[in-house]
Amino acid sequence: MSKLAATFRLMRAGWIMTREGVISALPAEGLSGLPAFGHRVAGLLARRRAMTAQRSERMSRAINKLGPSYVKLGQFLATRPDVVGNEVADDLALLQDQLDFFPMEASVKAIEGSLGRSVEDLYVSFNEPMAAASIAQVHPAFVRNNGELKKVAVKVVRPGVRQRFNNDLESFFLVAKWQERYVPATRRLRPIEVTRTLAQTTRIEMDMRLEAAALSEIGENTKDDPGFRVPTVDWERTGRDVLTLEWIDGVKMSDIEGLRAAGHNLIKLAETLIQSFLRHTLRDGFFHADMHPGNLFVDSEGHIVAVDFGITGRLGKKERRFLAEILYGFITRDYARVAEVHFEAGYVPHHHDVSSFAQAIRAIGEPIHGQPAETISMAKLLTLLFEVTELFDMETRPELVMLQKTMVVVEGVSRTLDPHFNMWKASEPVVGGWIRRNLGPQGILIDARDGANALLHLARQAPELLARADRLSQELDQMAANGLRFDEQTAKAIGKAEARHTRSGRVALWVIAICLVAITYKLVA
């Protein structure tokens, strides 16, 4: 029954996107047969007023009609151009996450239920909301700490959003499963894994304690960084459904004229922004993955203040080394090393030829040499690199794609602040310093220390590993003597799975039949 409900929710979503002209606005190059026919039919069924709007406007209108879950889906896919393509990702990045306010009474109920105290006890004053997004809305309020009155921002989770998201998530998983089953070419993108990532990131975003923890961690990481900070968290007034944090008075980085009027140095801000992002990425392995200008402020002291840490990204040591080595390889024109790094990291299957891959890398790197440094985009370089790796069966690395997309946004903001921004010159102190520390003699010592610790840990586990190996040997001997046997419970589970597969196939056929009848009726009428 849940699959049937998910299917009908998908049909509703498809109808809304068709009527708002989203389907007909999607790229149709290369389509033939039934998909091309469906694209033409979608154009006939779209509203006339929708057909005159830009694709980004159509998407925004349709997604906001579909509700918070689809807004969050759109924002997430904006960080995954590998899944939806660069053009669609750019359109999704323009989504205006502005939903209707929910009642003040609902906010009060959520706060008191989450913190177990009355709003009057928690805040000196608690005011009407000033901004509403897909997950939460923000209220200005005042608190008294150590006798001092302070203004704070209070984020409150939207009522019912968790249940709504869980329902829609079934539909998202259903689409991902159909895609993996019926469109083999997209399996490399691992759509089910992408959907799991969406589910995990959104569940984290709907728990205000986890966003507060992200703010706190980045705050500790950056406490000594020049020109960058994050708001402080009021942990006493933070719970599952509410986050209270420092109120930021500043100019949004999207307001270029406002920044000039406030006397800020735009060239210095551009340099600070990119260096801060690279520090978070390479040094800390933990970065803000939604650094669009609306989430960046400049305070009166000229510090960049980042807000809204619902979407963050993490890079392990291997991924950070991979990133640094490929950037350094392009700078030094050592394309063989760039290719080797991909193979060493296990990103490109070993049945491919390293020399052929290095040749493809050279095709990316050579055109940028000889150009003025201020015209070379690091983000574009990574985009081209990921496009080439598709030819060599490199599987999607979600953490690297999220990094690349965030770098596109951050670099774009820096170039808006300074049209002559030299990305490489600004990045060198951070990237060069990290390479010297981690790939030079100091890095070798660190690797040796980490290797010794790993060996010590393995030695401690040796008795348990030997016992496991002995049990496995005995089980293999039994299988060799008696053959592979299923217990009764396993056999029943296989039977149930097969029955579900058959039922889902019949349901899918009925849904397709109903859709075709509806389209035919519409055309005839």
DSSP structure string for 135-181:
SEEEEEEEEEETTEEEEEEEEEEPTTHHHHHHHHHHHHHHHHHHHHH
Q: Which of 166-175, 241-250, 366-375, 398-407 has the lowest mean pLDDT?
A: 366-375
Q: What percent of the chain has pLDDT over 90?
A: 25
The pLDDT assigned to 44 comes to: 77
Judged against a pLDDT cut of 90, whether residue 236 lies above it is answered with yes
Domain assignment present for residue 270? The answer is yes
Give the whole-angstrom CA distance, residue 133 versus residue 97.
5
Task: Tell me, yes or no, whether 273 and 409 share the same domain.
Answer: yes
Which DSSP state fits 125?
E
Q: State the average pLDDT over residues 383-407.
A: 74
Residue, of 240 and 68, whose pLDDT is higher: 240
Give the whole-angstrom CA distance, residue 325 versus residue 183.
35
Domain assignment present for residue 521? The answer is no
pLDDT band at 484 (very low <50, low <70, confident <90, very high): low
Domain assignment present for residue 131? The answer is yes
Give the whole-angstrom CA distance, residue 67 versus residue 135.
10
Judged against a pLDDT cut of 70, whether residue 26 lies above it is answered with yes
Give the whole-angstrom CA distance, residue 249 versus residue 300.
8
Give the whole-angstrom CA distance, residue 271 versus residue 135.
32
Task: Tell me, yes or no, whether 236 and 259 share the same domain.
Answer: no
Task: Tell me, yes or no, whether 313 and 430 share the same domain.
Answer: yes
Domain assignment present for residue 157? The answer is yes
Q: State the average pLDDT over residues 412-420.
A: 87
Indicate the SS3 state at residue 293: helix
Task: Tell me, yes or no, whether 275 and 393 share the same domain.
Answer: yes
Where on the phi/psi map is residue 343: left (φ > 0), alpha (ψ -120 to 50), or beta? alpha
Q: How many domains, the chain?
A: 3
pLDDT band at 240 (very low <50, low <70, confident <90, very high): very high
Task: Tell me, yes or no, whether 27 and 135 share the same domain.
Answer: no
Which of 247, 265, 283 delimits the end of a domain?
247
pLDDT band at 348 (very low <50, low <70, confident <90, very high): confident
By residue range, what is the domain housing residue 31? Answer: 1-96
Residue 292 token pair: 């669009």
The pLDDT assigned to 11 comes to: 83
Maximum mean pLDDT: which of 234-238, 320-324, 378-382, 442-446:
234-238
Maximum mean pLDDT: which of 326-340, 434-448, 484-498:
326-340
Domain assignment present for residue 47? The answer is yes
Give the whole-angstrom CA distance, residue 16 versus residue 6.
15
pTM surpassing 0.75?
no
Judged against a pLDDT cut of 50, whether residue 58 lies above it is answered with yes
Judged against a pLDDT cut of 90, whether residue 372 lies above it is answered with no
Domain assignment present for residue 278? The answer is yes
Domain assignment present for residue 412? The answer is yes
Judged against a pLDDT cut of 90, whether residue 426 lies above it is answered with no
Judged against a pLDDT cut of 80, whether residue 180 lies above it is answered with no
Which of 196, 229, 247 delimits the end of a domain?
247
Q: Which of 145-159, 193-207, 242-256 has the lowest mean pLDDT?
A: 193-207
Determine contact, residues 411/403, Cβ cutoff 8 Å.
no
Q: State the average pLDDT over residues 257-279.
A: 93
Domain assignment present for residue 481? The answer is no
What does the buried/exposed string (b/e) look like for 190-222 if buried means 16 or more CB atoms within 10 Å of the residue's CB? bbbebbbbbbebbebbbbbbbbbbbbeebeebb
pLDDT band at 217 (very low <50, low <70, confident <90, very high): very high
Where on the phi/psi map is residue 5: left (φ > 0), alpha (ψ -120 to 50), or beta? alpha
Which residue, among 138, 292, 117, has the nearest Cα to 208 in the 3D structure? 138
Task: Tell me, yes or no, whether 40 and 146 share the same domain.
Answer: no
The pLDDT assigned to 515 comes to: 53
pLDDT band at 504 (very low <50, low <70, confident <90, very high): low
Task: Tell me, yes or no, whether 435 and 372 share the same domain.
Answer: yes
Give the whole-angstrom CA distance, residue 61 versus residue 17.
9
pLDDT band at 109 (very low <50, low <70, confident <90, very high): very high
Which residue, among 246, 163, 260, has the nearest Cα to 212 in the 3D structure? 246
Residue 507 token pair: 């349901």
Active-site residues: which are they?
A: 290
The pLDDT assigned to 142 comes to: 95
Judged against a pLDDT cut of 60, whether residue 331 lies above it is answered with yes
The pLDDT assigned to 146 comes to: 82
Task: Tell me, yes or no, whether 316 and 413 share the same domain.
Answer: yes
Residue 119 token pair: 């709003």
Residue, of 10 and 236, whose pLDDT is higher: 236
The pLDDT assigned to 486 comes to: 54
3-class SS letters over 377-442: CHHHHHHHHHHHHHCCCCCCCHHHHHHHHHHHHHHHHHHHHCCCCCHHHHHHHHHHHHHHHHHCHH
Q: Which of 139-143, 415-419, 474-478 has the lowest mean pLDDT?
A: 474-478
Q: State the average pLDDT over residues 347-353.
A: 85
Indicate the SS3 state at residue 33: helix
Q: State the average pLDDT over residues 361-383.
A: 73
Q: Can you say how many angstroms the Cα of residue 225 is from the centroid of all Cα atoms in its chain?
A: 25
Residue 173 token pair: 């998983």
pLDDT band at 432 (very low <50, low <70, confident <90, very high): confident
Judged against a pLDDT cut of 50, whether residue 523 lies above it is answered with no
Q: What percent of the chain has pLDDT over 70?
A: 78
Task: Tell me, yes or no, whether 159 and 270 share the same domain.
Answer: no
Task: Tell me, yes or no, whether 137 and 61 share the same domain.
Answer: no
Beta strands in 191-321 (DSSP E): 228-229, 242-246, 250-252, 286-288, 296-299, 304-306, 312-314
Judged against a pLDDT cut of 90, whether residue 110 lies above it is answered with yes
Q: How far is CA 460 from CA 449, 451, 457, in A?
A: 17, 14, 5
Residue 50 token pair: 């929708």
Which helix (DSSP H) or strand (DSSP E) does residue 254 occupy?
Answer: none
Task: Tell me, yes or no, whether 128 and 81 share the same domain.
Answer: no
Q: State the average pLDDT over residues 111-138.
A: 91
Q: Which of 217-221, 267-271, 333-337 has the lowest mean pLDDT?
A: 333-337
Residue 66 token pair: 């579909």
Give the whole-angstrom CA distance, residue 498 versus residue 504.
10
CATH code, domain carrying 164: 3.30.200.20
Count how many Cα atoms sit within 13 Å of the Cα of residue 388 in the half-sphere of its side chain: 19
Amino acid at residue number 434: W
Q: Which of 132-146, 201-215, 327-341 has the lowest mean pLDDT?
A: 327-341
Give the whole-angstrom CA distance, residue 511 versus residue 514.
5
Indicate the SS3 state at residue 265: coil
- Residue 246, strand partner residues: 152
Q: State the average pLDDT over residues 48-56.
A: 74
Task: Tell me, yes or no, whether 117 and 90 share the same domain.
Answer: no
Which of 96, 111, 133 delimits the end of a domain?
96
Judged against a pLDDT cut of 90, whether residue 111 lies above it is answered with yes
Mean pLDDT (the chain, rounded): 79
Q: State the average pLDDT over residues 162-176.
A: 83
Q: Can you say how many angstroms the Cα of residue 328 is from the centroid of all Cα atoms in its chain?
A: 26
